[in-house]
Amino acid sequence: MAAQAQAQSIEVPTDAELLQAQADLWRHSLYYLSSMGLRCAVQLEIPTAIHRLGGVTSLPDLMSALSLPSCKLPFLHRLMHVLVTSGVFAADTDSESGVELYRLTPLSRILVEGVDAEEHHSQKYFVLGVTSPHCTEAALGLADWFKKDLEPPVPSPFEDMHGVPIFDERTALLDKDFDAVTNQGLAAHDNLGIATILRECGDLFMGLESLTDCCGGDGTTARAIVKAYPHIKCTVLDLPKVIDKVPTDGVITYVAGDLFHSIPSSQAMMLKLVLHFWSDEDCVRILTHCRKAIPPRDEGGKLIIIDIVVGPSLGPVMFEAQLLMDMLMMVNTRGGQRDENDWRKIFIKAGFTDYKIMKKLGARCVIEVYP
């Protein structure tokens, strides 16, 4: 009776709390419009247009660069207002003419297409992939997925809804274009920031004789490492469908295989942006294979992991970004982002004795793990 009476009563917020709560509710319920506004900007290629206009533009010039009908000018103004508020673009007013000018920010600069610079990897397809109908539909099915009692290994909401996993041989059967967009998005996402890692983490590679980049894709990371540290003998392991398309370059040894079966031996193993895709059980299997393919710690044997370590120490913005990346994994894959405790448990289960978080790089960390 007491519990029922309690359930029927509710603490009423103060007036100030109520008004704040309503505004917060608007923001949290409508953040999808912020994502869709970003998707729209990418689809219209606004970042590239501003870049081609010299990095700064008025709204009418932007309209004509995008070839949009003039009736849409007030609507583009409203879209740009939201995108400026969320930091995608910057705006200021020209002191002489009073005209409002839009500029690129670091965020929109990484969305510019068609720039041939070594450190530039346009993130256009990352945005288009994560905001795609297939991914947003999977997220819309989250509550139904939670209620289903599914046999382990539990399929992701994406797999449960669409009948095929993402980043799989079968994904193209669901939608060829979606598969292509997500693969391009993944490559762009993974290649962003290699130069930063090399600049910030020289200690990782100094004195290293050999390195296997497990799941190293087309070898972009390995080539950058060998360019900076030519003494390192670098091997890239990836699936045959990936390795078969990589032209031999005489610098990197490319091995087609499966990291669940055999990993080429080296002094160090690198797993960059790989483990968050896999379940804890799969990570233990992968890391056990890695441990067997490296020498003992006193001979320089080590594992280099570059991935997110979820935690609030980097501040609320990075923490939110990490948690959203975890939700992205939960909705679309069987993996997830991990906190330090989760990582430690996996290292110990795979037979490693110690680890050190070497460096924090944005929302990610570089971890050395020792046999």
In the range 267-296, which residues lie near ligand SAM by CB under 6 A?
A: 272-274, 277
Q: Amino acid identity of 36?
A: M
- Pick the binder of ligand SAM from 46, 50, 135, 186 (CB under 6 A): 186
Residue 306 beta carbon to ligand SAM: minimum distance, rounded to whole angstroms: 7
- d(CA 202, CA 177) in angstroms, rounded, equals 39
Contact between 217 and ligand SAM (CB under 6 A)? yes
| Structure token digits, residue 220 | 């972009």
Q: H-helix or E-strand containing 213?
A: strand 210-214
Mark whether 120 is an active-site residue: no
Beta carbon of residue 95, minimum distance to ligand SAM (angstroms, whole number): 45
Which listed range, 27-35, 58-66, 266-274, 314-322, lies at the site for ligand SAM (CB under 6 A)?
A: 266-274
Stretch that binds ligand SAM, among 102-110, 143-151, 183-191, 343-351 (CB under 6 A): 183-191
To ligand SAM, the closest distance from the beta carbon of 213 in angstroms equals: 6
Structure tokens belonging to residue 100: 């409002």
* 264 class by beta-carbon count within 10 Å (0-12 exposed, 13-18 middle, 19+ buried): middle
CA distance 306 to 269: 11
Q: What is the maximal distance between C-alpha atoms in the chain?
A: 78
d(C-alpha 277, C-alpha 333), whole Å: 7
48 vs 221, beta carbon nearer ligand SAM: 221
23's tokens:
């505004």
Binding ligand SAM (rule: CB under 6 A), the pick from 168, 258, 299, 320 is 258
Main-chain phi, psi angles of 57, to 5 degrees: -155, 155
Confirm if 124 and 113 have CB atoms less than 8 A apart. Answer: yes
Distance in Å, CB of 277 to ligand SAM, minimum: 6
Backbone φ, ψ for residue 107 (5° rounding)? -65, -45
Task: Give min distance, CB of 262 to ligand SAM, in A.
Answer: 10
Pick from 237, 211, 245, 214: nearest CA to 225: 211
Contact status: 195 vs ligand SAM (CB under 6 A): no
Interacting stretch for ligand SAM, rule CB under 6 A, among 61-69, 210-218, 289-297, 357-365?
210-218
> Site for ligand SAM (CB under 6 A): which residue of 215, 222, 232, 366?
215
Residues recognised as catalytic: 276
Which residue ranges make up the site for ligand SAM (CB under 6 A)? 186, 190-191, 215-217, 221, 237-239, 242, 258-260, 272-274, 277
